């Protein structure tokens, strides 16, 4: 055999790895089922409120539910605020749990590390996958809700909770702002979920601990004695999403919530990186 | 070391006939909490060899392999692949290494081809345009072309094992590591794995096969390393080890008693067997024995070395403690 010269470090193109990761995520049946449910939810919610409203409207009045949910500004924000406490974190955590713990349990993480994909790079690829899925899920849900609202109530119905009516362009901008804010919150959940995912081979453990953790956070934030703890809870600012519906937007709590999410992202990925580098796989 | 230096070193290295090592470990040790899984493992895998890593279950074969590939961090000791230290050189060396470790790992909801496409996307040495062809060739090589579009979930144990082999062979490799490659395979599959190993060997690829099946190693390997309770108890060329492990010469002759007497006169220990005698070769050589017998006018029909095989060697090495 001829003497072969050792080549320098070689890496697979990052674009190819990211595409391959996304293809893998979007081929998974459970991802598709969850996205399907998220797409149906705003439509059902919009139709549901109109059905509730129908008997009231027959008397020439309008019910409070329809007033709250029956327009293209309110519906997306209400839909986001209800999905962000369960379905969106579920989707995010599920993707994160499959990303490392799931791959480890199938023995496929070994294959990637042996190819080799360096550990830091692998974490970056996984973080990208989780971020794309949570962002796409939130964006899809809110846009479907926006369109549903327009179809049901028409373009002249974008009433803020301060009582002013907004043009469609301004309404869409507000909806996108709310969506962006929710996406950052989901990235925070994803960061923590990936850190847990890097520490175990059991995907269910990731799901249970993160979703369970969010539930416990929700409980803790209702206990007044523990108010010193509240600023540290990621869920603390999740109610503030309705502030985008005020005219003008009440930004104080939204900004606090954003900073809190960024802290969670930094801490989550630091932990995930530390675990990933030393992990035996 | 820069790569320019490495390149410059090739000329001098090829002039001096020192054997190149595909893999080398020194003082490898792994502790899991308080259990010593592997200790003092000094393993040499010469380039171009087929090394059989032999050992009973739990002897540390897989742990050693995982440390050699940088999957597990050793508690102590060092690993070199082609003279480059791991884990620092992983990105330069591992692309040329194919491995099947701890059984095949694939996603059940994807088809065989899709699974391999995913593996191929991560292979640094594969160009994007060459991926589809490499995957088809690997599937062909392990005989899975017909089942390539079926979901991995429905594969039999043997087919899964073949998939693992296909992933290890996606790219032409310099070094292939196969951990228990014949697990779950039927006799035909086992033969195919042997053929694959023989092909790799013929192409100059270094192969490391771990197995608890002695016949497997005896049939395919040029070198052997025996692990027992986490340490290497013996290693070297298969031929040398078989020779060292037994020192018997079987002589078939009709005049057994005369032959034994003639040898004993020359202080060569021998004992009668059903149709000949067994000569102990610890203090002498085979030609010496034959010359002695011929000088004593003993008719010799046939002389051959007694082969105890790896079975006995393995038993000797691992059952002493």
Per residue in B219-260, pLDDT (tens digit) is 888 998 988 888 888 888 888 877 766 667 888 888 888 888
Site of tokens 């010193």: A228
Residue in A closest to B114 by C-alpha: A24
Does the distance separating the beta carbons of A12 and B126 come in below 8 Å? yes
Give me the phi and psi of A152, to 5 degrees please: -75, -50
A28 touches chain B (CB under 8 A): yes
* B313 within domain boundaries: no
SS3 category, A107: coil
Could you give the CA distance from residue B113 to residue B118 in angstroms, rounded to a whole number?
Answer: 9
Residue B178 has pLDDT above 80, yes or no: yes
pLDDT of res. A61: 62
* Torsion A189-A194-A197-A198 (CA) sign: negative
Residues B146, B295: one domain? no
Is the predicted pLDDT of residue B5 greater than 60, yes or no? Answer: no
**Strand partners of residue B78:** B26
Whether residue A114 and residue B99 make contact (CB cut-off 8 A), yes or no, is yes
Q: A159 by DSSP, 3-state: which? A: strand
Tell me which of B33 and A214 has the higher pLDDT: A214
A17 — contact with chain B (CB < 8 Å)? Answer: yes
Whether B6 maps to a domain, the answer reads no
Q: Do B204 and A1 touch (CB under 8 A)?
A: yes
Global ipTM = 0.84
Look at residue A199 and give its three-state secondary structure. coil
* Digit-coded pLDDT (tens) for B147-175: 999 999 999 988 899 999 999 999 999 99
Contact B175, B208 (CB under 8 A): yes
**Residue A234: alpha-carbon gap to chain centroid:** 13
Claim to verify: residue B115 and residue B157 sit in the same structural domain: yes
- Output phi, psi for B311, to 5 deg: -50, -50
Token pair recorded at residue A185: 């919150």
- How much is the pLDDT for B307? 62
- Give the strand pairing for B248-252 and B97-100: unpaired
Q: Which of B69, B117, B121 sits opposite A12 (nearest CB)?
A: B121
Within-domain flag for B319 = no
**pLDDT confidence bin for B56, thresholds 50/70/90:** confident
The secondary structure of chain A in percent helix, strand, coil, rounded to multiples of 5, reads 80, 0, 20
Q: Which residues of A192-211 are buried (b: 16+ CB within 10 A; e: fewer)?
A: bbbbbbbbbbebeebbebbb
Q: Hey, are the CB atoms on A8 and B47 less than 8 Å from each other?
A: no
Q: Residue ranges per domain, chain A?
A: 14-278
- Min Cα separation B150/chain A (Å): 15
Contact residues, B window 289-308, toward A, CB-based 8 Å cutoff = none
How far, in Å, CA of A123 to CA of A95, rounded?
13
**Best-predicted range by mean pLDDT (A241-250, B30-39, B99-108, B183-192):** B99-108
Chain A interface, best mutation among B8, B33, B116, B122, by max A CB count within 10 A: B122
Residue with tokens 């100059």: B204
Residues 124-183 of B with CB under 8 A from A: 124-126, 128, 167, 174
pLDDT for A14-59, tens place per residue? Answer: 999 999 999 999 999 999 999 999 999 999 988 888 777 766 666 6
Both B191 and B267 in a single domain?
A: no
Are residues B60 and B194 located together in one domain of the fold?
yes
Same-domain status, B113 and B219? yes
Angle, helices A252-278 vs A168-198, to 10°: value is 30
B87 prior amide bond cis, ω within 30: yes
Yes or no, beta carbons of A116 and B95 under 8 Å apart = yes
Bridging pattern class, strands B76-81 and B50-54: unpaired
Element of type H or E holding A191: helix A168-198
The predicted model gives B259-265 an average pLDDT of 86
Going along A115-188, which residue ranges are E strands? none
- Which residues of chain B neighbour A109 with C-beta distances below 8 Å? 105
Indicate if B209 and B109 belong to the same structural domain: yes
Interface probe for A, chosen from B9, B97, B105, B164 (most Cβ of A below 10 Å), is B105
Give a yes or no: residue B159 inside a domain: yes
> Distance from A47 to chain B by nearest Cα, in Å?
35
Do B204 and B120 share a domain, yes or no? yes
Q: Look at residue A206 in the predicted model and tell me its pLDDT.
A: 96
Query: What is the pTM assigned to this prediction?
Result: 0.83
Give me the residues of chain A with pLDDT under 50, please: 1-4
Q: Taken in order A264, A269, A275, A278, is the CA torsion positive or negative?
A: negative
In this structure, the answer to whether residues B86 and B154 fall within a common structural domain is yes
- Which residues form the domain of B296? 247-305
Which CATH number goes with the domain that contains B297?
A: 3.30.70.100
- With contact defined as beta carbons under 8 Å apart, do B318 and B233 qualify? yes
| B-chain residues near A98 (CB < 8 A) | none
A112, closest residue in chain B (CA to CA)? B122
- B293, two tokens: 């017998």
User: Does a structural domain hold residue B158?
Assistant: yes
CA-wise closest residue to A1 among B172, B261, B88: B172
- The pLDDT of residue A121 is 94
Q: Comparing C-alpha atoms, which of A244, A258, A253, A238 is closest to residue A73?
A: A244
Q: Do B71 and A113 touch (CB under 8 A)?
A: yes
Asked if residues A102 and A151 have their Cβ atoms less than 8 Å apart, the reply is no
Mean pLDDT of B288-308: 83
Asked whether residue B311 is domain-assigned, the answer is no
Interface contact A115-B71, CB threshold 8 A: no
Write a three-state SS string for chain B.
Answer: CCHHHHHHHHHHHHHCCCCCEEEEEEEEEEEECCEEEEEEECCEEECCCEEEEECCCCCCHHHHHHHHCCCCCCCEEEEEECCEECCCCHHHHHHHEEEECCCCCCCCCCEHHHHHHHHHHCCCCCCHHHHHHHHHHHHHHCCCHHHCCCEHHHCCHHHHHHHHHHHHCCCCCCEEEEECCCCCCCHHHHHHHHHHHHHHHHCCCEEEEEECCHHHHHHHCCEEEEEECCEEEEEEEHHHHHHHHCCEEEEECCCHHHHHHHHHHCCCCEEEECCEEEEECCCCCHHHHHHHHHHCCCCCCEEEECCCHHHHHHHHHHCCC
Please give the pLDDT value at position A2: 40
- Residue B7: inside a domain: no
Check if A105 contacts B (Cβ < 8 Å). no
Say if residue B227 is in the same domain as residue B264. no
Q: Do B121 and B255 have their domain in common?
A: no
Instruction: Indicate yes or no: CB of A112 within 8 angstroms of CB of B72.
Output: no
User: Which long-range contacts link A245-254 to residues 24+ away (Cβ below 8 Å)?
Assistant: A245/A73, A245/A74, A245/A77, A245/A160, A245/A161, A245/A174, A246/A160, A246/A161, A246/A162, A247/A160, A247/A162, A247/A163, A247/A164, A247/A166, A249/A174, A249/A177, A254/A181
The whole-angstrom separation of Cα A197 and Cα A205 is 8
Specify the number of domains making up chain B. 2
Comparing A64-68, B21-25, B86-90, the range with the smallest average pLDDT is A64-68
CB atoms within 10 A of CB A235: 23
Chain A segment 117-156 residues within 8 A of B by beta carbon are: 117-118
Q: Are A98 and B105 in contact (CB under 8 A)?
A: no
Tokens representing B109 are: 């909801």
If one counts every other C-beta atom within 10 angstroms of the C-beta of residue B36, the result is 15
Q: Domain with B191 in it: what CATH number?
A: 3.40.50.300
CA distance B143 to B226: 32
Residue B206 has pLDDT above 90, yes or no: yes
**B259 and B268 Cβ atoms separated by less than 8 Å:** no
Same domain flag for B223 and B268: no
User: How far apart are alpha carbons A132 and A243 in whole angstroms?
Assistant: 26
Q: In the beta sheet, which residues pair with residue B98? A: B176
Test A115 with B122 for CB contact under 8 angstroms: yes
Label residue B48 exposed, middle or buried (CB < 10 Å: 0-12, 13-18, 19+).
middle
Confidence check: pLDDT of B88 > 90: no
Which of A2, A3, A6, A121 is the best mutation test for B, with the most CBs of B within 10 A?
Answer: A6
B280 shares its domain with B195: no
Amino acid A270: pLDDT = 96
pLDDT exceeds cutoff 90 at B192: no
Residues of A in contact with B83 (CB under 8 A): 6
Strand partners, A156: none
Q: What is the mean pLDDT of chain B?
A: 84
Tell me the percentage of chain B whose pLDDT exceeds 70. Answer: 88
Q: Does A277 touch chain B (CB under 8 A)?
A: no
Pairing of strands B223-228, B231-237: antiparallel
Say if B139 falls within a structural domain. yes
């Amino acid at each position: 055999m001829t003497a072969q010269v050792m080549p320098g470090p070689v890496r697979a193109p990052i674009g190819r790895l990211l595409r391959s990761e996304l293809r893998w995520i979007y081929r998974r049946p459970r991802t598709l089922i969850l996205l399907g449910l998220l797409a149906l939810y705003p439509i059902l919610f919009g139709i549901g409120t109109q059905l509730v409203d129908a008997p009231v409207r027959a008397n020439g009045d309008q019910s409070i539910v329809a007033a709250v949910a029956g327009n293209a500004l309110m519906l997306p924000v209400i839909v986001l605020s209800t999905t962000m406490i369960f379905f969106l974190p579920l989707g995010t955590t599920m993707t994160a749990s499959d990303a490392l713990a799931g791959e480890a349990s199938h023995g496929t993480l070994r294959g990637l590390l042996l190819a080799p994909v360096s550990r830091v790079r692998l974490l970056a690829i996984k973080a990208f996958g989780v971020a794309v899925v949570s962002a796409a899920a939130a964006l899809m849900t809110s846009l479907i809700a926006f369109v549903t609202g327009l179809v049901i109530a028409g373009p002249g119905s974008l009433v803020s909770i301060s009582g002013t009516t907004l043009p469609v362009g301004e309404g869409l901008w507000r909806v996108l702002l709310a969506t962006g804010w929710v996406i950052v919150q989901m990235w925070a959940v994803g960061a923590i979920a990936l850190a847990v995912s890097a520490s175990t081979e059991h995907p269910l453990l990731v799901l249970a601990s993160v979703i369970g953790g969010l539930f416990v956070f929700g409980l803790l934030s209702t206990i007044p004695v523990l108010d010193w703890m509240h600023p540290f809870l990621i869920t603390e600012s999740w109610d503030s999403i309705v502030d985008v519906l005020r005219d003008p937007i009440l930004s104080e709590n939204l900004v606090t919530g954003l900073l809190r999410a960024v802290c969670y992202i930094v801490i989550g990925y630091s932990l995930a990186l530390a675990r990933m580098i030393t992990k035996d796989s | 070391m820069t790569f320019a230096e490495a390149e410059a070193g090739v000329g001098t290295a090829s002039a001096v006939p020192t054997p190149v090592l595909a893999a080398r470990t020194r003082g490898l040790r792994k502790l899991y909490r308080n259990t010593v899984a592997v200790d003092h493992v000094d393993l040499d895998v010469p380039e171009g060899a087929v090394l059989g890593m032999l050992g009973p279950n739990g002897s540390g074969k897989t742990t050693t392999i995982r440390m050699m590939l940088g999957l597990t961090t050793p508690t102590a000791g060092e690993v070199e692949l082609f003279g480059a230290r791991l884990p620092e050189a992983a990105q330069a060396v591992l692309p040329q290494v194919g491995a099947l470790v701890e059984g095949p790992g694939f996603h059940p909801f994807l088809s065989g081809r899709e699974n391999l496409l995913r593996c191929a996307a991560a292979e640094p040495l594969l160009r994007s345009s060459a991926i589809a062809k490499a995957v088809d060739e690997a599937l062909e090589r392990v005989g899975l072309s017909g089942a390539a579009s079926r979901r991995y979930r429905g594969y039999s144990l043997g087919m899964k094992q073949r998939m693992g082999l296909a992933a290890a062979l996606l790219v032409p490799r310099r070094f292939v590591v196969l951990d228990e490659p014949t697990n779950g395979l039927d006799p035909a599959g086992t033969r195919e794995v042997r053929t694959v190993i023989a092909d790799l060997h013929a192409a100059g690829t270094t192969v490391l096969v771990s197995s608890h099946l002695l016949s497997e190693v005896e049939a395919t390997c040029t070198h052997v390393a025996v692990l027992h309770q986490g340490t290497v108890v013996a290693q070297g060329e298969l031929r040398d080890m078989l020779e060292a492990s037994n020192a018997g010469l079987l002589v078939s002759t009709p005049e057994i008693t005369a032959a034994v007497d003639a040898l004993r006169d020359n202080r060569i220990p021998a004992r009668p067997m059903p149709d000949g005698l067994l000569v102990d070769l610890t203090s002498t050589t085979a030609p010496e024995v034959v010359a002695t017998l011929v000088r004593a006018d003993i008719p010799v029909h046939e002389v051959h070395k007694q082969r105890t095989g790896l079975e006995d060697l393995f038993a000797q090495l691992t059952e002493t403690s």
